[in-house]
């Protein structure tokens, strides 16, 4: 034990540094815009942060995690500022996690962004252990030795903070179809699918083989005019989604399918492929419109190649995308609307994931 004791302070400092640096990095995964936007919508908005304050707080918070991860490896104000500040931040996180557990909140706590999902209980245990290590470190370290370089400590925080504001500039608040797109709205005219499965092949025969003498021509019966079908469509309403798409889409008229996908999401691609196959099999299948998250938009052509068809679409920035889909929901999102009435709404890959059979049944209902 005596041989190990001299190495314990540095071991703890390295462990805590890695923990904070990884936590900060994970909140920027897979891109800074996606990670920070998700942090704002999923974590900060439910805590009461406004749309104006949340973007600033998210960047300053992640910068603080980067700074603490670096600062704990240097000697300036280690026992007076760095370690107490780290413990205080973890304590605040623990209070929030404890409240989440008490209120029954589940799902991903967001400690490691979307890179590693962790429940509030798991995160609380992690934070308590980390606080214990830091308290132990405080007792082992000698008193801070003057002089201290406070400007260096401030610089350790300022550099990542400025970098985050440069890498992921704050975007203005968004509402409506005219403001929430980062690229042009692309309208694809629907091409009817050719159904060759029931093609009838007629043999060509010689006219001499036809016995015209025995041909009997019957008087055609009077055509029966069927009664027009009764209108069983639901009353038209204005859906909450219509304000996010162009008026030319006429989302609230007739049967429409609105998809909320991320271009790089494998589950979104698979869902789009299933919808394309269903559309090929049903000539009356509702038109599909897609709102893509602004996360790897360069993958959209690859997305449509995998799906087997192109659809009208637009791109929404990350924060707006989550607001449209729902802050507690996840991709892929599929919404079936009939005259603006939401008849089917699936999201994520868990209990409420897209179900092909249930969707077919809902699409086929007369009312």
Task: For residue 366, name the pLDDT band (cuts at 50, 70, 90).
Answer: low
pLDDT-wise least confident of 27-31, 187-191, 206-210, 241-245: 206-210
**Residue 41 placed within a domain:** yes
85 and 158 together in one domain? yes
Task: For residue 222, name the pLDDT band (cuts at 50, 70, 90).
Answer: low
What span, in angstroms and rounded, lies between the C-alpha atoms of 189 and 310? Answer: 9
Cβ proximity of 47 and 114 under 8 Å:
no
pLDDT-wise least confident of 26-30, 152-156, 215-219, 320-324: 215-219
CATH number of the domain where residue 271 is located: 3.40.30.10
13 and 158 together in one domain? yes
User: What is the pLDDT averaged over residues 95-100?
Assistant: 91
241 and 163 together in one domain? no
**Residue 281 placed within a domain:** yes
Helical axes 150-167 vs 54-71, angle rounded to 10°:
140
246 and 354 together in one domain? yes
**Residue 127 placed within a domain:** yes
User: What is the pLDDT averaged over residues 126-150?
Assistant: 90
**Residue 221 placed within a domain:** no
351 and 240 together in one domain? yes
**Residue 284 placed within a domain:** yes
60 and 154 together in one domain? yes
For residue 71, give the H/E element and its range. Answer: helix 54-71
The alpha carbon torsion through 22, 182, 177, 335 (nearest 10 deg) reads: -50
Which pLDDT value is given to residue 107? 78
pLDDT at 6 over 50: yes
User: What is the pLDDT averaged over residues 3-14?
Assistant: 85
User: What is the pLDDT averaged over residues 127-152?
Assistant: 90
CA neighbor of 73 nearest in space, from 143, 16, 151, 7: 16
Instruction: Tell which wins on pLDDT, 190 or 16.
Output: 16
The alpha carbon torsion through 92, 98, 101, 103 (nearest 10 deg) reads: -90
Task: For residue 189, name the pLDDT band (cuts at 50, 70, 90).
Answer: low
Residue that is last in its domain, among 112, 135, 167: 167
User: What is the pLDDT averaged over residues 105-133?
Assistant: 91
User: What is the pLDDT averaged over residues 261-271?
Assistant: 95
Task: For residue 346, name the pLDDT band (cuts at 50, 70, 90).
Answer: very high
> What is the value of pTM for the model shown?
0.76
pLDDT at 146 over 70: yes
- Could you give the strand order of the β-sheet that contains 312-316, starting from the edge strand earlier in sequence? 312-316, 287-293, 255-261, 333-338, 341-346
239 and 154 together in one domain? no
CA neighbor of 77 nearest in space, from 24, 148, 183: 148
Domain of residue 337 covers: 231-364
156 and 241 together in one domain? no
Tokens 């041989």 label which residue?
Answer: 3
Which pLDDT value is given to residue 18? 97
C-alpha distances (whole Å) from 158 to each of 1, 68, 85, 163, 362 are 40, 12, 16, 8, 54
Which pLDDT value is given to residue 114? 85
pLDDT-wise least confident of 2-11, 125-134, 213-222: 213-222
**Residue 184 placed within a domain:** no
pLDDT-wise least confident of 32-36, 37-41, 44-48, 181-185: 181-185
Which pLDDT value is given to residue 212? 41
User: What is the pLDDT averaged over residues 253-261?
Assistant: 96
Q: Taking the CB of residue 156, how many other CB atoms lie within 10 A of it? A: 21
pLDDT at 115 over 50: yes
267 and 147 together in one domain? no
**Residue 267 placed within a domain:** yes
Assess whether the previous peptide bond of 221 is cis (omega < 30° from 0). Answer: no
Residue that is last in its domain, among 129, 150, 167: 167
Task: For residue 145, name the pLDDT band (cuts at 50, 70, 90).
Answer: confident
Which pLDDT value is given to residue 108? 84
User: What is the pLDDT averaged over residues 274-280?
Assistant: 95
341, burial (CB in 10 Å: exposed 0-12, middle 13-18, buried 19+): middle
114 and 19 together in one domain? yes
What span, in angstroms and rounded, lies between the C-alpha atoms of 349 and 9? Answer: 43
Which pLDDT value is given to residue 2? 60
Number of structural domains (the chain) is 2
241 and 160 together in one domain? no
Task: For residue 126, name the pLDDT band (cuts at 50, 70, 90).
Answer: very high
Averaged pLDDT score across all residues of the chain: 85
134 and 277 together in one domain? no
Residue that is last in its domain, among 117, 135, 167: 167
**Residue 197 placed within a domain:** no
Instruction: Tell which wins on pLDDT, 164 or 196.
Output: 164
């Amino acid at each position: 034990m005596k041989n190990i004791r001299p190495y314990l302070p540095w071991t703890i400092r390295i462990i805590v540094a890695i923990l904070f640096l990884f936590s900060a990095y994970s909140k920027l995964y897979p891109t800074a815009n996606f990670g920070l936007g998700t942090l704002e919508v999923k974590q900060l908005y439910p805590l009461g942060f406004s749309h104006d304050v949340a973007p600033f707080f998210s960047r300053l918070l992640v910068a603080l995690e980067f700074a603490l991860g670096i600062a704990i490896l240097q000697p300036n104000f280690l026992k007076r500022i760095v370690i107490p500040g780290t413990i205080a931040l973890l304590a605040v996180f623990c209070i929030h996690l404890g409240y989440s557990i008490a209120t029954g909140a589940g799902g991903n706590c967001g400690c490691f962004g979307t890179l590693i999902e962790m429940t509030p209980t798991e995160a609380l245990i992690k934070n308590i252990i980390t606080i214990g290590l830091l308290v132990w470190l405080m007792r082992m370290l000698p008193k801070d030795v003057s002089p201290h370089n406070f400007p260096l400590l401030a610089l350790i925080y300022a550099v990542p903070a400025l970098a985050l504001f440069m890498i992921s500039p704050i975007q203005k608040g968004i509402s409506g179809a005219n403001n929430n797109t980062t690229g042009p709205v692309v309208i694809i005219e629907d091409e009817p699918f050719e159904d060759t499965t029931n093609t009838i092949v007629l043999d060509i025969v010689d006219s001499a083989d036809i016995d015209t003498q025995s041909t009997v021509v019957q008087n055609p019966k009077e055509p029966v005019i069927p009664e027009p079908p009764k209108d069983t469509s639901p009353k038209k309403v204005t859906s909450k989604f219509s304000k996010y798409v162009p008026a030319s889409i006429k989302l609230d008229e007739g049967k429409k399918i609105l998809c909320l996908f991320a271009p790089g999401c494998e589950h979104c691609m698979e869902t789009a492929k299933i919808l394309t196959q269903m559309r090929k099999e049903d000539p009356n299948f509702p038109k599909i419109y897609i709102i893509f998250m602004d996360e790897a938009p360069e993958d959209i052509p690859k997305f449509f190649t995998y799906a087997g068809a192109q659809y009208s679409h637009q791109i929404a920035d990350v924060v707006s995308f989550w607001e449209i889909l729902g802050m507690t929901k996840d991709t892929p999102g599929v919404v079936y609307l009939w005259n603006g009435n939401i008849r089917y709404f699936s999201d994520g890959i868990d209990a409420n994931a897209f179900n092909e059979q249930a969707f077919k049944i809902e699409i086929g209902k007369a009312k």
